[in-house]
Structure 1
Amino acid sequence: MLFIVIPVFNRLKYTRDCLLSLRQQTRQDFRVVVVDDGSTDGTDQMLAREFGEVEVVTGDGNLFWTAGVNLGIRRALALGASRIMTLNNDLLVLPDFVDRMLYWADQHPTAVLGALELDVATGQPVYGGERLNWRTNTRHDLLAELPASQRHGLHPVTYLPGRGLLIPLVVIEKIGLFDEKRLPHYLADFDYTSVARRHGFPVYCNYDARLSTYPEESGQEQTRRFRSLRGYYQHLFGIRGGGNLRNFTHFSLKNCPPQYLPYYLLNGYARRLVGYFMH
């Protein structure tokens, strides 16, 4: 049984719309676990009133993404999950999303799968996975490189985000849960899928499964929208900072091949120190 784990903190409207899109799935052989980390906007009442079928786990407001997802996964495993999918609440899944994910999961039962992301406003693809050259710290954007005729099926990638990430039970049994101690928010998803790949599990972006995102609502975009010294500090050192130097260091030490590590670290630090002002 597939269990979909969604960590939430406030943003009630996004959570409702996301859950409604799951109700519209052509396949309904899944269950949903929402981890409500101390929301103060009535999310708990809305879930109880409108989504009685959803399993709700509550936190105290200090879980952040990684610990929230882990709490939901533990609950799903206790309920008998054989597959886990992590999903963010600020997205919508197209009606055949679950069907297309489970189809390919059945074909590749040990693979970790992500999805093609569309801009909710335009319907145009915005993210289709990437391949990283560790030696040069350069990323190859699959969307930019794949012709439209090849934008279907599975494509191998270096890592995947946690938005619509399907994880077989065998992967969890082998490598455990997300690294909430060292990566409490950002990079935990890229780290987890990188570790899975290093342990021999295929990691693919599934171009047949599509979800719609709100690119401007990401934490990184919120931080960069109004640039300031305080924002710069949060970018580099805050738990939700997209350029968090500590998180990047942990990710690099865990995943970068040792022979490429010095350059990868220096190049990555430089990009984070100046990147806040470049976008």
Structure 2
Amino acid sequence: MIYIVIPVFNRKKFTQECLLSLRKQTYQEFKTIVVDDGSTDGTEEMLKNDFPEVIIIKGDGNLWWTKATNWGIEYALKDSAMTYVLTLNNDTLAPVDFLEKLMQSAKEKPLAIFGANPDEQNTSTSESEGKKTGLKRVSHLPGRGCLIPKEVFEKIGLFDEKRFPHYLADYDFTLTAHKNGFEVFLNYDALLYTYPDESGNFQNRKKKTWKNYYNHLFHMRGGGNLKDFTNFELKHTTPYKLPYKLIKGYLRRLIGYWIK
């Protein structure tokens, strides 16, 4: 049994399309939890009317990605039948065999973490790169389409919502799991359609202004958030490498915004 945890705030259309894609899955041994963090666009009504099978958990608008995801996981862990959690963003579309591909790998390596292969804006894999298949061993993964065995939560706990309330919580969690002996893989066969233009990071970079620059460095949705970056390096970088990693990372964020 998989529990799929989807944190949402508004963007009703994305949530609707994402849930419709899950209904079409060839693998159907799952339950879906939507953590609605105070949406004001009719998301809750849409969920109740169109998706009665979905479990709805309501937030007050201050959960952000990490705490909302943790609320869903906590609910899932209460079910003794649960074996996996799949963290999923609402701005994704799952091909019909998405869960099947993930579970095929999970049957071979039941204690490993598997991540989806993101395909931006519903396009096929770049012909210049060639079509990649199979598994690639990695140290960490993003949270959009990440299949996690319950044993990982039992050993290392939930996502770190104090240090990483929105961004980097997924990288931190999977890297921590990796350091604790769990294998982590990117599954090239588990394709997941995404919309990168909808991210807060892209919006801050789309139009370069001093306000967006500030948001890029300090806002919760800023892809170059200095606080998140510092916390991540302090937690995961060895002391003798830390000064170099911090200086390099600060320069990339301070200067890179204007030249990328």
Q: TM-score, normalised by structure 1?
A: 0.90
Report deviation, 1:66.
0.4
**Residue equivalent to 1:50:** 50
| Distance across 1 between alignment mates of 2:13 and 2:99 | 22
Report deviation, 1:244.
0.6
Flag structure 1 segments of 5+ consecutive residues without an equivalent: 126-142
**Residue equivalent to 2:146:** 165
**Residue equivalent to 2:117:** 116
Instruction: Name the aligned partner's letter for residue 106 of structure 1.
Output: K
SS at match of 2:259: coil
**Residue equivalent to 1:258:** 239
**Residue equivalent to 1:152:** 133
Match of 1:201 among 176, 182, 197: 182
Match of 1:222 among 203, 215, 226: 203
**Residue equivalent to 2:157:** 176
Flag structure 2 segments of 5+ consecutive residues without an equivalent: none
Report deviation, 1:153.
1.2
| Distance across 1 between alignment mates of 2:109 and 2:237 | 26
Report deviation, 1:257.
2.6
4+ residue runs over 3 A deviation: none
| Distance across 2 between alignment mates of 1:48 and 1:68 | 19
**Residue equivalent to 2:168:** 187
Q: TM-score, normalised by structure 2?
A: 0.96
- Give per-residue Cα distances to partners, 1:209-235, cap 9 Å, x unaligned: 011001111110011112211111111
CA change 1:166–1:70 in 2 (3 A) is same
Report deviation, 1:121.
4.1
Instruction: Name the aligned partner's letter for residue 259 of structure 1.
Output: Y
Report deviation, 1:86.
0.2
**Residue equivalent to 1:130:** none
1:10-159 superposed matches below 5 A: 10-80=10-80, 81-124=82-125, 148=130, 151-159=132-140
- Give per-residue Cα distances to partners, 1:80-119, cap 9 Å, x unaligned: 3221010000010111000010110111111111011112
- Superposed CA RMSD in Å reads 1.4
SS at match of 2:217: helix
SS at match of 2:193: strand
Question: Aligned residue pairs: how many?
Answer: 259
| Distance across 1 between alignment mates of 2:29 and 2:236 | 35
Instruction: Name the aligned partner's letter for residue 95 of structure 1.
Output: V
- Give per-residue Cα distances to partners, 1:222-273, cap 9 Å, x unaligned: 1111221111111111111111111001111111233321111110111011
- Give per-residue Cα distances to partners, 1:162-207, cap 9 Å, x unaligned: 0000111111111100010010001110111111111111111001
Contact 1:123 1:212 in 2 (8 A): no
| Distance across 1 between alignment mates of 2:238 and 2:130 | 33
Match of 1:270 among 236, 251, 258: 251
| Distance across 1 between alignment mates of 2:123 and 2:162 | 37
